[in-house]
């Protein structure tokens, strides 16, 4: 069941669309008797066409499908009748080639405007789907004046949709999805009056949806999802009386859902999530009897929800309205949607009203029920809800008051196949016994409650469980199994995620954890565990990839010879002593190593340079000492070795091999992917940035920082620092650096925070620094600097304390900043970014960014790291937010 948490609601519907494409049409092909030989010029054209491309791998989508996927053109030869070749259909009378179906044929290459395809003028069907064609679609496609069906999906066609397609008046089916088309949806689309199907999803189309779409009276399928469309939905779409499928999710559409949609009497699937729609949903929509699915989650719909009155039975199976701004009561008439399989109302602001949960009891087919964060005073009885539908498999009640102690559960325990239960923040005080009989359960989030005492041993006998989140409770220990043999004899536990941070666990880390052989992520941070890190954790070595024991009272040294599959190891804020085990250099998968705030007494671990994946190294606040040898850390993006006893000089080429910070690599810049963690777990860390501590809630790919502060480094700052073009944070404060600040720092175009305070730096501040437009914070105080302080907005908006105690700084910027210590520079500059504070947990108030250019960049990573609280409690159907580079269909 791995990964079932990914947008279970959105994706299946989208797949439905893809399926529809295949089941529609093509019944008119392959009726050709081989009596007639095809025309020689058409045969030659086909052979020439074949030679324009080469064979490559089959499109991955074809591999997933059962239908005819193979290089059809391979069978095409000189002498046989081309009408009998694979993928070719001829007209029996005229012998013209009328159909070319080359979907899933593994063809690769650029389409040229002179393609010999143009010598097949009688084509009525052209299907080139799921190959690897690229380049523009030649405008000569408009010469196929008989064309009825045109399908080009699943290629890499780019450029605009050729306007010549607007001449193909016989077209009934036009599918161009999953390509790289740009530009607008052409207005001339409205001239193709025979169109019944129009699919343009997953391209890069921009602009508004042309209202001329309303002139296509035959249209049944309209699918534009996954583009960058803006503006309002044209109300003319409400005139498409034949429309059955309307999919416009994942665009940037605004405005209200037109009330004319209530007239779409054949509408079956309506998908418009992940846009910015506002207003209410026209209640007529809910009374359309043919409707099976309404997906409107992740918009800004508001007002009260109304389902209207209708006598006809509802066929609605899927209703997804989550993550909007609905207020008011949940309409009781929801109980008439008796065929609902999936219902998502989380969150829904009932404004503190009581909710009568029995309105959900007639929904006997429910499989997925999301009712978290309803803002209601009513306490939900978990047992009752479980009894409404025997088919329930995902239930989310997070953020509501939930009672788990129904007496009936003792005599008549619930037994259904629930596999995911979200009970985060439900005010639960005792571990719910009634879970004990839910043998199908795989995913349990019971975090953020007030559960006391022991984590029961029976929990580990729920043998399908792979995810348990116990974080933020007041557990004190894990109950040990009464059976002596321990767990492994019970059944092979499948647990992969055990998250128990921020409880009151004390004593030693229990050894039963070492028997959870499938464990991948163990987070026991922020507890009171004592003793040493158990050696037996080494038993988990083949699976364990994330180990977080931060903020405990663990002593001893880091064990050797274990954890060799780790991707992240965080043992910060403990009492560890000794040295870093040299065996760490075999942890070839390690990406994050954080040992901050311990008592580790060692020299600089230059030997970690052999870890090709190491991206984050934090040695902060230990007793590391000695010089830091010249080491190459090719992947390192964050290094914090501050507050140790390192000393010595750094050669001028010190940073020359730290390639990850000099260029992030094309595929990574601006990429939405996090480099650490997975869907269910991400690492966090704290970093000094802009003079304050900043928590990187999830360490992101594009973050880069060097913090060498609080040591005894001497000599000059290495000039090679200027190579770190992607660096965001640089801190050399509180050392004994001498000489002048290298002017090569002027190359650090991405730099946002620079601290060289409390050194013995002399000379001038390089004028080049004045050009660094992202540099929002800098601190040169307590040095021996002289001369003209550079100009530029950034310098003029600093705090005077950033320049104090130097030998003789002057200039207009300096005067402006330190003009009058009693009237500090305008505060405005520091308060422009309230949005940011919502999104990253700043431990202290963040100092602002400059408005304008740096904004987009910074917001870029912040948006990614921001997820509302309920997100984690309810990742189902939620993970596709405002970014769209999702690799799936």
Residues 408/411/412/417 CA torsion (nearest 10 deg):
100
Interface pick for ligand NAG out of 277, 466, 646, 681 (rule CB under 6 A): 681
Select from 185-193, 312-320, 372-380, 799-807 the region that touches ligand NAG (CB under 6 A). Answer: 799-807
DSSP E strands in 315-426: the ranges are 318-320, 325-326, 342-344, 368-370, 379-381, 394-396, 401-403, 420-422
d(CA 819, CA 16): 67
Q: Bridge partners of 344?
A: 320, 370
According to CB under 6 A, which one of 499, 516, 751, 864 is a site residue for ligand NAG?
499
* Contact call for residue 758 and ligand NAG (CB under 6 A): yes
Q: Which stretch binds ligand NAG (CB under 6 A): 305-313, 554-562, 654-662, 698-706?
A: 305-313
Q: By C-beta, is 311 or 888 nearer to ligand NAG?
A: 311
Query: Going by C-beta distance under 8 Å and a sequence separation of 6 or more, which residues neighbour residue 187?
Result: 210, 212
Contact region for ligand NAG (CB under 6 A) — 1-9, 14-22, 335-343, 464-472? 464-472
| Phi and psi, residue 192, nearest 5° | -80, 75
Q: Which of 799, 854, 865, 874 is the binder for ligand NAG (CB under 6 A)?
A: 799
Of residues 818-877, which lie at the interface with ligand NAG (CB under 6 A)?
Answer: 824-825, 872
Per CB under 6 A, does 603 bind ligand NAG? no
* End-to-end CA gap in the chain: 19
Nearest CB to ligand NAG, comparing residues 112 and 483: 112
**Least distance (Å) between residue 486 CB and ligand NAG:** 26
Q: Taking the CA of residue 247 as centre, how many other CA atoms within 13 Å lie in the half-sphere pointing to its CB?
A: 28
- Residue 126 preceded by cis peptide, ω within 30: no
Site string for ligand NAG, 612-651 (x = CB under 6 A): -----------x----------------------------
List 134, 283, 458, 857, residue binding ligand NAG (CB under 6 A): 283
> Residues with Cβ < 8 Å from 80, sequence gap 6 or more?
none
Do the Cβ atoms of 827 and 851 come closer than 8 Å?
Answer: no
Q: DSSP readout, 264-284? A: -TT--EEE--SS---SPPPGG
| Among the listed residues 424, 740, 794, 813, the single contact to ligand NAG using CB under 6 A | 424
Report the distance separating Cα 144 and Cα 174, nearest Å. Answer: 13
Q: Minimum distance between the CB of residue 308 and ligand NAG, rounded to whole angstroms? A: 5
Segment holding 41, helix H or strand E: helix 40-51
Site for ligand NAG in 186-225 (CB under 6 A): 214
- Say whether residue 449 binds ligand NAG (CB under 6 A): no
Q: Which phi and psi angles does 140 have, rounded to 5°? A: -65, -10
Residue nearer to ligand NAG on the CB measure, 71 or 226: 71
Quote the least distance from Cβ 709 to ligand NAG, whole Å: 9
Number of residues that bind ligand NAG (CB under 6 A): 37
178 versus 682: smaller Cβ distance to ligand NAG: 682
| CB 526 within 8 Å of CB 502 | yes
Token digits of residue 459? 């929990």
What percent of the residues of the chain are helix, what percent strand, and what percent coil, each to the nearest 5?
Answer: 20, 20, 60
Closer to ligand NAG by Cβ: residue 232 or 306: 306
Q: In this structure, what token pair is assigned to residue 107?
A: 């063809």
Which range touches ligand NAG (CB under 6 A), out of 12-20, 133-141, 241-249, 794-802?
794-802
Q: At closest approach, how far in Å is the CB of 143 from ligand NAG?
A: 16
Which CB atom, from 59 or from 643, has the smaller least distance to ligand NAG? 643
For ligand NAG, which stretch binds (CB under 6 A), given 181-189, 373-381, 508-516, 777-785? Answer: 777-785
**Interaction between residue 263 and ligand NAG (CB under 6 A):** no
* Residue given tokens 């009894």 in the structure block: 387
Among 40, 78, 411, 542, binds ligand NAG (CB under 6 A): 78
Q: Which of these segments, 318-326, 354-362, 530-538, 796-804, binds ligand NAG (CB under 6 A)?
A: 796-804
Does position 669 interact with ligand NAG (CB under 6 A)? The reply is no
448 touches ligand NAG (CB under 6 A): yes
Q: How near is the Cβ of 316 to ligand NAG at its closest, in Å?
A: 16
Token pair for residue 86?
């694979």
CA angle, 438 as apex, 434 and 443 as ends, to 5°? 105
Residue written as tokens 């009932």?
350
Q: How many residues would you count in the chain? A: 889
CB of 574 to ligand NAG, least distance (A): 16
- CA distances, 786 to each of 729, 740, 781, 797, 802 (Å): 24, 10, 11, 19, 14
- Candidate residues 239, 249, 251, 797; the one interacting with ligand NAG per rule CB under 6 A: 239
DSSP 88: E
Beta-carbon contacts of 862 under 8 Å, excluding residues fewer than 6 positions away, are 836, 839, 840
- Nearest-approach distance from CB 15 to ligand NAG, in angstroms: 27
Q: Which residues bind ligand NAG (CB under 6 A)?
A: 77-78, 112, 114, 116, 214, 235-236, 239, 283, 306, 308-309, 424, 447-448, 469, 471-472, 499, 601, 623, 680-681, 691, 733, 757-758, 779, 781-782, 799, 801-802, 824-825, 872
């Amino acid at each position: 069941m791995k990964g079932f948490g990914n947008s279970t609601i959105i994706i299946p519907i989208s797949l439905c669309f893809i399926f529809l494409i295949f089941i529609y049409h093509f019944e008119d092909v392959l009726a050709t008797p081989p009596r007639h030989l095809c025309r020689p010029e058409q045969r030659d054209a086909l052979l020439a066409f074949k030679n324009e491309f080469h064979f490559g791998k089959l499109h991955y989508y074809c591999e997933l499908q059962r239908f005819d996927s193979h290089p059809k053109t391979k069978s095409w030869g000189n002498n046989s009748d081309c009408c009998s070749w694979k993928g070719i259909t001829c007209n029996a009378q005229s012998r013209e080639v009328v159909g070319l179906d080359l979907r899933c044929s593994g063809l690769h290459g650029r389409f040229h405007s002179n393609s010999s395809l143009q010598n097949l003028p009688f084509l009525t069907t052209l299907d080139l789907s799921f190959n690897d064609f690229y380049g523009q679609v030649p405008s000569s496609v408009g010469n196929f004046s008989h064309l009825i069906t045109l399908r080009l999906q699943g290629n890499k066609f780019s450029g605009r949709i050729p306007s010549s397609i607007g001449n193909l008046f016989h077209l009934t089916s036009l599918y161009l999805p999953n390509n790289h088309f740009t530009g607008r949806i052409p207005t001339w689309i409205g001239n193709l009056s025979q169109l019944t199907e129009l699919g343009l999803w997953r391209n890069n189309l921009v602009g508004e949806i042309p209202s001329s779409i309303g002139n296509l009276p035959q249209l049944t399928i309209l699918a534009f999802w996954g583009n960058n469309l803006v503006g309002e939905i044209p109300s003319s779409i409400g005139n498409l009386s034949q429309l059955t499928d309307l999919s416009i999710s994942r665009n940037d559409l605004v405005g209200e859902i037109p009330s004319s949609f209530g007239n779409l009497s054949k509408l079956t699937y309506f998908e418009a999530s992940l846009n910015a729609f506002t207003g209410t949903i026209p209640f007529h929509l809910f009374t359309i009897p043919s409707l099976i699915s309404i997906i409107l989650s992740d918009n800004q719909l508001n007002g009260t929800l109304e389902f209207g009155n209708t006598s006809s039975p509802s066929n609605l199976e899927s209703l997804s309205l989550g993550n909007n701004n609905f207020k008011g009561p949940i309409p009781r008439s929801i109980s008439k949607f008796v065929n609902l399989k999936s219902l998502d109302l989380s969150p829904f602001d009932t404004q503190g009203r009581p909710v009568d949960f029995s309105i959900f009891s007639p929904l006997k087919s429910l499989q997925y029920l999301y009712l978290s964060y309803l803002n209601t005073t009513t306490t939900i009885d978990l047992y009752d809800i479980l009894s409404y539908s025997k088919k329930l498999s995902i239930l989310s009640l997070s953020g509501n008051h939930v009672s788990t102690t129904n007496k009936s559960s003792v005599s008549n325990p619930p037994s259904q196949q629930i596999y995911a239960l979200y009970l985060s923040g439900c005010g639960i005080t005792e571990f719910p016994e009634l879970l004990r009989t839910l043998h199908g359960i795989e995913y349990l989030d019971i975090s953020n409650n007030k559960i006391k005492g022991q984590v029961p041993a029976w929990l580990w006998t729920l043998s399908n469980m792979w995810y348990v989140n116990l974080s933020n409770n007041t557990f004190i220990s894990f109950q040990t199994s009464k059976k002596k043999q321990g767990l492994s004899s019970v059944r092979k536990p499948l647990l992969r995620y055990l998250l128990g941070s921020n409880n009151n666990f004390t004593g030693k880390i229990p050894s039963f954890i070492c028997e959870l052989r499938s464990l991948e992520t163990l987070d026991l941070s922020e507890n009171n565990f004592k003793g040493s890190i158990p050696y037996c954790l080494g038993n988990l070595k083949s699976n364990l990839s994330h180990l977080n024991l931060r903020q405990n009272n663990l002593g001893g040294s880091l064990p050797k010879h274990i954890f060799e599959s780790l991707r992240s190891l965080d043992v910060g804020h403990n009492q560890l002593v000794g040295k870093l085990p040299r065996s760490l250099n075999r942890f070839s998968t390690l990406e994050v190593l954080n040992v901050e705030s311990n008592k580790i007494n060692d020299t600089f671990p230059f030997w970690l340079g052999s870890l090709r994946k190491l991206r984050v190294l934090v040695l902060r606040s230990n007793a590391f000492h000695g010089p830091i040898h010249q080491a190459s850390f090719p992947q390192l993006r964050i290094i914090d070795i501050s507050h140790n006893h390192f000393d010595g000089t750094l050669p001028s080429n010190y940073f020359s091999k730290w390639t990850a910070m000099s260029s992030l690599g094309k595929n990574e810049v601006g990429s939405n992917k996090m480099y650490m963690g997975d869907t269910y777990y991400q690492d966090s860390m704290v970093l000094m940035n802009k003079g304050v501590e900043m928590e990187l809630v999830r360490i992101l790919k594009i973050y880069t920082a060097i913090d060498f502060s609080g040591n005894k480094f001497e000599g000059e700052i290495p000039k090679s620092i200027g190579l770190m073009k992607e660096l965001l944070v640089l801190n050399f404060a509180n050392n004994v650096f001498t000489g002048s600040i290298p002017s090569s720092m002027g190359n650090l175009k991405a730099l946002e925070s620079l601290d060289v305070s409390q050194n013995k730096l002399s000379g001038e501040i390089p004028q080049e620094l004045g050009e660094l437009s992202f540099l929002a914070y800098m601190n040169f105080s307590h040095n021996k600097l002289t001369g003209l302080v550079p100009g530029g907005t950034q310098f003029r908006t600093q705090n005077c304390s950033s320049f104090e105690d130097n030998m003789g700084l002057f200039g207009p910027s300096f005067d402006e900043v330190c003009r009058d210590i009693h009237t500090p520079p305008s505060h405005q500059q520091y308060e422009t970014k309230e949005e940011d504070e919502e999104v990253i947990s700043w431990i202290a108030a963040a100092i602002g960014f400059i408005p304008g250019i740096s904004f987009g960049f910074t917001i870029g990573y912040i948006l990614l790291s921001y997820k509302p609280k309920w997100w984690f409690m309810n990742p189902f159907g939620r993970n596709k937010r405002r970014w769209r580079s999702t690799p799936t269909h």
